[in-house]
Amino acid sequence: MTLSKVLDAVSDTLVARHFSTIAAAHGGATGSANAAAAGPKDDDVLMLSQAAADPSAWIVVLHYGAILLLIVLSAISSGLTLGLMSLDKVSLDVIVRAGARPEATVEERTKAQAARRILPVRADSNLLLTTLVLTTVAVNSLLSILLVDLTSGVVGFFASTALILVFGEILPQSICSRHALSIGSTFVPVVKGLRLVLYPLTKPVSYTLDRVVGEDVGTMFTKRELQKLVEIHVRQQIVHPEEGCIVRGAMSYKNKVVSDIMMPADKLFSLSISFLRSVLVPIVFAARMEPTTS
């Protein structure tokens, strides 16, 4: 494989430099007779030189280090794909505006700060999606190649599938779906770096998506959907029931007629003005004059 040749060349260079340094430090001592006379230090040099003659150990270490790094990158790109794409621009704008109010709570201000960092990255949704998907595919492909190099074909297939499925897909997506705002704002610099590096590849694809599919404008709700959304917030005890009733009534006010609200005249009763003056008014004044008792 091309990657294996590159790793072999790097490891041979590191081993050669390391061995040259050791040889210079010990005065270039050679031969078993000089090693026996010099003592334990020359024995160490001999052992290191024997290890340097077999660079396969260095290659294995580099392979495992690269595999670990690729698993981390796969988890980040996969989790951010689900987390950031679930935060549409309308929701982020609502969070920012809610946190900008003078009476906003500490939690609302913290969320607004995180949303404000994500908004520039989320503005071009197709470019963001293309960047994250390309990163995930490239990392997973390279991870499969490295695992196949270390093991047989069948073992490498199952090992790469298990690692990518558990650590590259399920765990990061389950975490990012629940903490999309905080995790997304933390990895905004990483996303910007990936977008800059992959821009020549992702920009043509995102431009095509903008023309064919269209840009993401965010999630918009109708009046009925907003009423149901308020009902859900009331059930979750986020909105007070009376406030929810007022909001739902205001949104349905345009479709209401008088007969839906007012009581029919045949179901009403009336009192004369003389009764109000002679009976109710004295009762009201008497009630106001009575001292309040605790």
In this structure, is the dihedral angle defined by the CA atoms of residues 67, 69, 9 and 42, taken in order, positive or negative? negative
List of residues 6+ apart from 118 with CB closer than 8 A: 84, 87, 92, 181, 184, 185, 188
Structure tokens at 189: 């610099």
Average pLDDT over residues 72-97: 90
Looking at 40-44, 65-69, 165-169, which range is the least confident one?
Answer: 40-44
State both tokens at 273. Answer: 């003005």
Contact 251, 227 (CB under 8 A): yes
Model confidence at 119: pLDDT above 50: yes
User: What are the residue boundaries of the structural domains of the chain, listed by start?
Assistant: 2-54, 58-212, 223-289
Contact 116, 96 (CB under 8 A): yes
Is 90 exceeded by the pLDDT of residue 253? no
CA distances from 276 to 270, 280, 288 (A): 11, 5, 17
What the block records as the tokens of 293 is: 């008792």
Q: What is the predicted pLDDT for the residue at 80?
A: 92
Higher pLDDT, 116 or 284: 116
Please tell me which residue, 138 or 21, carries the higher pLDDT value: 138
Percent of the chain residues topping a pLDDT of 90: 24
Quickly count: other Cβ atoms within 10 Å of residue 77's Cβ: 25
Average pLDDT over residues 106-117: 91
Proportion of the chain above pLDDT 70, given as a percent: 77
pLDDT value at position 17?
Answer: 52
End-to-end CA distance of the chain: 90
**pLDDT recorded at residue 290:** 64
**pLDDT for 121:** 92
221/153: higher pLDDT: 221
The closest alpha carbon to 205, from 132, 286, 294, 267, belongs to: 132
- Note the pLDDT tens digit of each residue in 15-58: 455 445 544 544 444 444 444 444 444 555 445 455 455 566 77
Q: Average per-residue pLDDT in the chain? A: 78
Evaluate if pTM is beyond 0.75.
Answer: no
Residue 292 pLDDT exceeds 60: no
pLDDT at 60 over 90: no
Neighbours of 282 (CB within 10 A): 10
Q: Is the pLDDT of residue 266 over 70?
A: yes
**pLDDT, tens only, 208-218:** 998 888 877 77
Give the pLDDT score at 131: 94
Tell the residue number behind the tokens 């030189």, with chain if given.
49
Q: How confident is the model at residue 188 (pLDDT cuts 50, 70, 90)?
A: very high
Averaged pLDDT for residues 100-117: 89
- Quick: pLDDT tens for 206-246: 999 988 888 777 777 788 888 888 889 899 888 888 888 88
Residues 244 and 239: their CA atoms lie apart, in Å, by 6
Asked whether the predicted pLDDT for residue 168 surpasses 60, the reply is: yes
